[in-house]
Amino acid sequence: MKRTIIKLIFALVLGALLLTGLAAGLSRVVYGRSLRASVYTLMLRRRYGHPRTPEAETERLEARREAGEKPYRLPEKLTLRAALTESEREGMQVFTLNDGGDAQTTVLYLHGGAYINSFNAYQWRFMDRLATEANCRVVAPAYHLAPWADHTRAYRDLTGLYRDLISEHPGRRLLLMGDSAGGGLALGLAEALAAAGDALPEALILFSPWVDVSMDNPDIAAYIPRDPILHLELCRLHGQYWAGSADAHHWQVSPLYGDMAGLPPVTVYCGTHELLCPDILLACDRLTAAGVQTTLHVGRGLNHDYPLMPIPEAEAAVRQVVAMVRGA
- pLDDT tens per residue across span 13-51: 444 444 445 445 655 665 688 999 999 999 999 999 899
* Exposed / middle / buried, residue 61 (Cβ in 10 Å: 0-12, 13-18, 19+): middle
% pLDDT > 70, the chain: 90
Give me the pLDDT at residue 20, please: 46
Give me the pLDDT at residue 14, please: 47
- pLDDT tens per residue across span 151-168: 999 999 999 999 999 999
Return d(Cα 135, Cα 129) in angstroms, integer.
9
* DSSP SS3 for 206: strand
pTM listed for this prediction: 0.92
The helix (H) or strand (E) run that includes residue 320 is helix 312-326
Mean pLDDT of the chain: 92
Domain boundaries, the chain: 33-49+92-326
- pLDDT tens per residue across span 250-289: 999 999 999 999 999 999 999 999 999 999 999 999 999 9
* Exposed / middle / buried, residue 96 (Cβ in 10 Å: 0-12, 13-18, 19+): buried
Return d(Cα 31, Cα 317) in angstroms, integer.
18
Write the CATH number of the domain with boundaries 33-49+92-326. Answer: 3.40.50.1820
**How would you label 121-150 residue by residue, b for 16+ Cβ within 10 Å and e otherwise?**
ebbbbbbbbbbbbbbbbbbbbbbbbbbbbb
Number of H helices, E strands in the chain: 9, 8
Return d(Cα 254, Cα 27) in angstroms, integer.
35
82: Cα separation from own chain's centroid: 20
Task: List the one residue out of 137, 146, 152 whose CA is nearest residue 94.
Answer: 137
